[in-house]
Structure 1
């Protein structure tokens, strides 16, 4: 986009929780962004969910909390249509002064995984299904939003209801217009199972760009919801009696000639697909922390609630953690259904794609695909609680093949610090921490 008449703009990078950290700059600073004159403390990307420094962080305090260099990503400036004043956001990445990527920047973690694919002559295309809730947060506890047409709170579930989509037409239409302006490839929208829950699919594109889309889309939904008098949230389970929100990732791998390496011309897929599935299954316990990064994330993992808890795969079966959708063989892909909506998209895609690549590089063999209801089977399980997930992420050998040791150490420090503080907050007040921060 052209900054045109915009007088100031924002620069921001993602911290480990996916929150935007940055600053507001005058228009005159825009032409200097690529020169490395924009600096912020390294610690700003390695803070907890409340913005507090991580105690004893080796990524920060061994350097004396020096400044890092912020450089713009390939995305360039994007508009912020939810604001009343015309504004632009420039997504950034953090580097050391010597030009080395700062390992506390989660976008670099995904970039590193995709560089491994590139060394094999492969590129990854990913599409992401984003589930979220619209919420009335005006009272002491979260409630479903009011129907904009009737002014009354929503009553009854409305899965795939066109009536409910029409009721929120003003909000949804503004989201679509904003996605077009921000070059986010929004596709279908559905009314989901929960009261006030929706899903918008983001079309397939190169994986790093897809993660950027998801990160920006979260900011868009939260901002646009406020503009319409509601809260928008990607909390894993904001309403206790309603369905949880997930982020489903569809991905395929293309060779140098643009051929899908998962396509064998039939419905079963190639041996490479089987190996990628095997890697993803092997990594599920250790990567639980990435897919469920917060204390309330684990409220979503209830058997039978459309949130997979067992490590299994299947063809056209939504109870499995990994689903191989049907359709044309040229579009053969893996759908990874585990992540909650409250994840950091850069870390989630790094964990998923890193696991798949490890499975292919190591020639891993997947168990047979399941048939039937995965929730009723005796399967290897994801970690069931936050502490177990932290410990597994810290020690799992598959995680060590995907992420830099410094990021592993810092994320576990971050989550232990958050867990300690969250224990001091009454559980009925946890939503005030997470409603719009995730």
Structure 2
């Protein structure tokens, strides 16, 4: 890690940052001449900092604040190491960190440790999840009272129409996407295909699959920060909020995953289109946990504006082969790449918690060896299905009362997330719709 700064003497300051429960970067600015101390000894800030609400405020009734004297945690560098921050004007390096207790134990309220715990469960069974994510986001002109598509840097025009898979829409913002791909390469984020989507100024970029789920979550987290920061350098905003425009589809964050055994064999591959019993068990686990874990996949008030029938976001608890109306889709293609696509999450999620919920649920199913109901055919929105919660309050209640969630998340994480979301729900009710959009636009 120290070699990075020696190779980049132009870097005068660093940022050390961890993800809080909402996926916000929390950390410090440090002169680069003191970076060695951070690398060797870590840094410290209160445990409560990873349990702030969306405004960055303390949780009123959290035991992490006054009850415990607002005690410190110890934050150590992740295995990711230093990387550039191309969205800033001055040369700056970011050092991702995660939180431990004073005695060296992982802090269970850290989202990255929640995912690590799930990955450890896989490892103990000789299994390794392989993960890829697809992230949708909007480019937005937020300079006026109403959100709108930015002016094209090429034409100077504002095209107020959906542009599904339009090469022209990509080319309108060519310099932004060129800079974005260059920045991803510099940060070692495996950005692959970009397409335009069905919303106003909406795009999707896929991140390549890999057999390190923690790194996949890191990539998604860092990518969201990069896109938002780089857009501002180009004179507009970028947002992963679930539903910025009432009349257009919202943004999702779809997850593709398979599982390798100790020999590196995909345990979902049966040589044909059906998939193995292990794949069906994983599907069953994902479906069983989906209702109660909706709070992870739709963590904000605005999230539920996206999750309505017929709006390209799944609402029914079902699975299918090659069917994008289902919550769980089994894509077609080479059997060696047989995988599950989990389609419920919005773009506004915390990637660490999202992957922990998905992979933890799948492993529950593999362990329990239960089979899912029959796959659906046709339009899932037209079927009589059990549904995920359709309000924020119902999702909070389902998460709190769940019997399956404690199999995936530690008690401290469950408590902290519930306290956070209950406080946010209370204060969001006091804001106008425009004020709600304003807070979500830049944060999630």
TM range (shorter): over 0.9
5 Å-filtered alignment, 1:41-52, equals 41-52=46-57
Match of 2:282 among 276, 284, 304: 276
Match of 1:187 among 183, 188, 192: 192
Match of 1:128 among 127, 130, 133: 133
The equivalent of 1:304 in structure 2 is: 310
- Asked whether 1:238 is paired with 2:244, we answer yes
1:146 Cα offset (Å): 1.4
Question: Within 2, Cα distance between the matches of 1:190 and 1:355?
Answer: 30
Match of 2:78 among 73, 82, 85: 73
- Contact residue 64 and residue 71 of structure 2 kept, 8 A: no
* SS of alignment partner, residue 2 of structure 1: helix
The equivalent of 1:202 in structure 2 is: 207
Match of 2:147 among 132, 142, 146: 142
The equivalent of 2:4 in structure 1 is: 2
Question: Within 2, Cα distance between the matches of 1:220 and 1:226?
Answer: 10
The equivalent of 1:163 in structure 2 is: 168
* SS of alignment partner, residue 293 of structure 2: helix
Structure 2 spans left out of the alignment, 5+ residues: none
The equivalent of 1:17 in structure 2 is: 22
> Deviation digits for residues 126-169 of structure 1, max 9, x if unmatched?
00000000000001121122122221222221111111111110
The equivalent of 2:92 in structure 1 is: 87
The equivalent of 1:260 in structure 2 is: 266
Question: Within 2, Cα distance between the matches of 1:266 and 1:29?
Answer: 56
The equivalent of 2:121 in structure 1 is: 116
Distance 1:109 1:61, change over 3 A: farther
- Contact residue 272 and residue 360 of structure 1 kept, 8 A: yes
The equivalent of 2:105 in structure 1 is: 100
The equivalent of 1:152 in structure 2 is: 157
- Asked whether 1:344 is paired with 2:354, we answer no
> Deviation digits for residues 171-226 of structure 1, max 9, x if unmatched?
00100000000000000000101110000000001211000000000000001100
Question: Within 2, Cα distance between the matches of 1:78 and 1:20?
Answer: 15
Question: Within 2, Cα distance between the matches of 1:390 and 1:155?
Answer: 36
1:17 Cα offset (Å): 0.2
Question: Within 2, Cα distance between the matches of 1:259 and 1:62?
Answer: 49
- Asked whether 1:223 is paired with 2:225, we answer no
> Deviation digits for residues 389-417 of structure 1, max 9, x if unmatched?
00111111111110011111111110010
Size of the aligned set, in residue pairs, is 438
Match of 1:421 among 402, 424, 427: 427
1:294 Cα offset (Å): 0.4
Question: Within 1, Cα distance between the matches of 2:219 and 2:64?
Answer: 27
Under a length normalisation based on structure 1, what TM-score does the superposition of the two structures give?
0.98
* SS of alignment partner, residue 292 of structure 2: helix
* SS of alignment partner, residue 60 of structure 2: coil
- Contact residue 276 and residue 357 of structure 1 kept, 8 A: yes
Question: Within 2, Cα distance between the matches of 1:56 and 1:162?
Answer: 50
1:84 Cα offset (Å): 1.0
Q: Which moved more, 1:141-150 or 1:195-204?
A: 141-150
> Deviation digits for residues 255-314 of structure 1, max 9, x if unmatched?
111100111111111100000000000111101100000001100011011100001000
Under a length normalisation based on structure 2, what TM-score does the superposition of the two structures give?
0.97
* SS of alignment partner, residue 245 of structure 1: coil
* SS of alignment partner, residue 291 of structure 2: helix
The equivalent of 1:249 in structure 2 is: 255
The equivalent of 2:321 in structure 1 is: 315
